[in-house]
Amino acid sequence: MPKQAIQEEILHPIPPLYDESSKTLILGSFPSVKSREAQFFYGHPQNRFWKLIALLFGESTPQNVEEKSSLILSHHLALWDTIHSCTITGSSDSSIKNVVPNDISVILQNSRIDRIFCNGATSHKLYMKYIYPTTKIKAEKLPSTSPANAAFTLERLAEDWKVIIK
């Protein structure tokens, strides 16, 4: 008998990654099961986020949390997600319900963020619904780096994502 997917309410377990010199905020939707296990962003080995960011900035792909953090901060980026808590089945964005948004004001007040990008349609939709009315900062939707977005090769992602480079 197949195992039933369980929908559970989960709190976001990863703090935002930014510093006072961060200028560009990248928001995902909610951490995958693998990211929650790793306690860090984009933890699934098939997610192309880290390869993409390294490619865009001409660096080698980071292998651990320290290298990933350094890659983000050295290029004045910030990372977090739009969702503080939700009900979700596994890692499926399409199963997300009962959304409580993250309060990104802590990042905005303690950095130089002037641009916000969303990694995928779910993040963008939730940002515009829950967070934009407070911040009044428009976010640009970028194609998801998730392995579920198989239509996009790494090269095609890089073409669209190059807008994050200032």
| Percent of the chain surpassing pLDDT 70 | 97
Q: What is the per-residue pLDDT for 5?
A: 65
State the angle between helix axes of 154-161 and 49-56 in degrees (0 to 180), rounded to the nearest 10.
60
Pair 9, 87: CB distance under 8 Å? yes
Tell me the one-letter amino acid at 142. Answer: L
Mean pLDDT for the stretch of residues 56-82 = 98
Domain holding 51: CATH number?
Answer: 3.40.470.10
* Average pLDDT score over the chain: 94
With respect to residue 1, please indicate whether it lies within any of the assigned structural domains: no
Q: How confident is the model at residue 69 (pLDDT cuts 50, 70, 90)?
A: very high
The sign of the torsion formed by the CA atoms of 135, 138, 142, 148 equals: positive
CA 152: distance to chain centroid? 17
With respect to residue 44, please indicate whether it lies within any of the assigned structural domains: yes
Output b/e per residue, 32-45; b: 16+ Cβ within 10 A.
beebbebebbbbbe
With respect to residue 100, please indicate whether it lies within any of the assigned structural domains: yes
With respect to residue 32, please indicate whether it lies within any of the assigned structural domains: yes
Rounded distance, CA 67 to CA 62, Å? 5
- In this predicted model, what pLDDT tens digit does every residue of 119-152 receive, in sequence order? 999 999 999 999 999 999 999 999 999 988 999 9
Q: What is the per-residue pLDDT for 4?
A: 58
Q: What is the per-residue pLDDT for 137?
A: 96
Pair 73, 22: CB distance under 8 Å? yes
Helices (H), 40-120: 49-56, 65-74, 105-109
Domain count of the chain? Answer: 1
* Predicted confidence (pLDDT) at residue 22 exceeds the cutoff of 70: yes
pTM listed for this prediction: 0.94
Question: In terms of residue numbers, what domain contains 127?
Answer: 7-164
Rounded distance, CA 93 to CA 77, Å? 24
With respect to residue 2, please indicate whether it lies within any of the assigned structural domains: no
Name the residue among 162, 154, 164, 123 with its Cα closest to residue 141.
123
